[in-house]
Structure 1
Amino acid sequence: MKLLRSVVGVACAVAAFTARADEVLVAVAANFNAPLSRIAQGFEAATGHKLKAAAASTGKLYAQIAAGAPFEVLLSADDETPARLDAEGRTVAGSRFTYAIGELALWSAQPGLVDAQGAVLASDRFRHLAIANPKTAPYGRAALQTLRARGLEAAVAPRLVTAESIAQAQQFVSSGNAELGFVAWSQLSVPGQPPTGSWWRVPAGLHEDIRQDAVLLKPGQGKPAAQALLAYLRSEPAKAEIRAWGYRLPGDGAAAPAAAVKKP
């Protein structure tokens, strides 16, 4: 009898561990891929689950989900795409929430090129301006709104270089293929690494809030790791990491309108 109880106890322990050691497949917007890799370390240590991520522009991720990709969680770069998936019945009702509010920056790899007010956009000091595709990337849409707010859309249009994602927009600038580019502020504010080049942190009033929503997709329904990840994103360690990358959270207040510029 004691042996039977021991065997049963071991079996239950193994079953419990197996239930914990799940893997979650995450579709993540390109701007949040690097922060997610850091968050994943804390998530895996705290829960025992594993995280596997695929990064792309939000528009491309939506197309993949609509085509049947087995993602369990979407970390979008906007709030419209998760809402659309909700309306289409592709999500678990009531699971959607804002996990971060992004900020936009105009950036150059060249020190001194970008000024504290973004006035360089109205100058002839650049030939190419990188921007993520406004049709598929929320940060690209915010960049276009910024140009419109400044009355520069038509003037700058011939010099625009359209990237597939905000990550590619940054690559265009860092490689020198474009002197300037609109990027996510989080791409420049990597914890422990001071930004290089020069930049203008775009005031929030020049574009719509970049509210980034998370949602549990239908393939993640009832999956322990998927549910645990959404819960972990609301935890204090995850919030601290998100803020450390230059994002705001709901309730943090408006973004500071001041610009920051790296001096030559």
Structure 2
Amino acid sequence: MLQKTPMLAALAVVLALPTLAQADEVAVAVAANFTAPMQKIAAEFEKDTGHKAMLAFGATGKFYAQINNGAPFEVLLSADDETPAKLEKEQAAVAGSRFTYAIGKLVLWSAKPGYVDDKGEVLSKGDFTHLSMANPKTAPYGQAAMETLGKLKLLPALQPKLVLGENITQAYQFAATGNAQLGFVALSQVYADGKLTSGSVWRVPASLYSPIRQDAVLLNKGQNKPAPQALLTYLKGAKAKAIIQSYGYDLP
């Protein structure tokens, strides 16, 4: 028995070699609202496949510009469905690779418990100094926030109080630090494992903004590479979907 042990160990190493040889990295541009779930998904993806996802987080509009300027991203996880469609049309992404991986939800949030009521009436009272949101020119959640204020007919009154973050992460940080008493943020930033993580929140009714369909797409730099395609397949799997839902997203 003792003589067989080294042989078995050697055999185990040999059997592991093909997996290690195939393991690769994939450069992923990730919409800022999807930071927490994607960090979890990336860890599980690496455990399950051996591939490592190298993640960059930011505003979808900025990623679009960077991709057009030759940034080395292989996969885009967008905060909308328009940007991936545009990249496909412009032949910067692989045709037919696009799909919706999550449907985002907008919320009004304050770091202060009890400050935001469950109907969002705190907005019309106006007894706050600053309201943060992501830049609507580059961030879909910012566009959704502007749409909401427009439909509520509150935009003219609240315009002077708006503080724009470069992306949804910065909008959240303004509210989390108290520099803004309120912030329009993604539900996923204040929600995990089926519950609110801190502060107080109003879930903005879906009727007040266009659906935030978040699409993934394989970029040209990822074409014919195993790791990018494996990641996109993994996002459609049960484990990734469970993580996505745990952060308050809907699935398509």
Q: TM-score, normalised by structure 2?
A: 0.92
2:143 to 124, 141, 147: 141
Asked if 1:81 is matched to 2:83, the reply is: yes
Match of 1:254 in 2: none
Shift of 1:89: 0.2
For residues 10 and 191 of structure 1, the distance between their equivalents in structure 2, rounded to whole angstroms, comes to 38
For the Cα contact (< 8 Å) 1:129–1:161, is it kept in 2?
A: yes
For residues 34 and 113 of structure 1, the distance between their equivalents in structure 2, rounded to whole angstroms, comes to 25
Structure 2: segments with no counterpart, 5+ residues: 1-10
For the Cα contact (< 8 Å) 1:143–1:182, is it kept in 2?
A: yes
Asked if 1:112 is matched to 2:114, the reply is: yes
Match of 2:134 in 1: 132
Match of 1:253 in 2: none
For residues 207 and 153 of structure 2, the distance between their equivalents in structure 1, rounded to whole angstroms, comes to 14
Q: Deviations over 1:74-105 (max 9, x none)?
A: 00000000011011100111100000000000
For residues 128 and 19 of structure 1, the distance between their equivalents in structure 2, rounded to whole angstroms, comes to 53
Match of 2:3 in 1: none
Match of 1:40 in 2: 42
For residues 85 and 12 of structure 1, the distance between their equivalents in structure 2, rounded to whole angstroms, comes to 42
For the Cα contact (< 8 Å) 1:20–1:47, is it kept in 2?
A: no
Shift of 1:44: 0.9
Match of 2:96 in 1: 94
Mapping 1:230-249, distance limit 5 Å: 230-249=232-251
- Counterpart code for 1:23: E
For the Cα contact (< 8 Å) 1:128–1:160, is it kept in 2?
A: yes
Superposition misfits of 4+ residues, deviation over 2 angstroms: 9-20, 190-195
For the Cα contact (< 8 Å) 2:78–2:216, is it kept in 1?
A: yes
Shift of 1:136: 0.3
For residues 122 and 195 of structure 2, the distance between their equivalents in structure 1, rounded to whole angstroms, comes to 25
Structure 1 pair 237/14, CA: closer, same or farther in 2 (3 Å)? closer
Shift of 1:193: 6.7
SS at match of 1:167: helix
- Counterpart code for 2:221: P
SS at match of 2:160: helix
Match of 1:5 in 2: none
SS at match of 2:192: coil
For the Cα contact (< 8 Å) 1:77–1:211, is it kept in 2?
A: yes
Match of 1:70 in 2: 72
The percent identity for this pair of structures is: 60
Structure 1: segments with no counterpart, 5+ residues: 1-8, 251-264
My pick for the range that moved more, 193-202 or 217-226, is: 193-202
Shift of 1:11: 11
- Counterpart code for 1:241: I
Match of 2:173 in 1: 171
Match of 2:188 in 1: 186
For the Cα contact (< 8 Å) 2:194–2:247, is it kept in 1?
A: no
For residues 129 and 194 of structure 1, the distance between their equivalents in structure 2, rounded to whole angstroms, comes to 20
Q: TM-score, normalised by structure 1?
A: 0.88
Shift of 1:34: 1.2
Q: How many residues align?
A: 242
Match of 1:103 in 2: 105
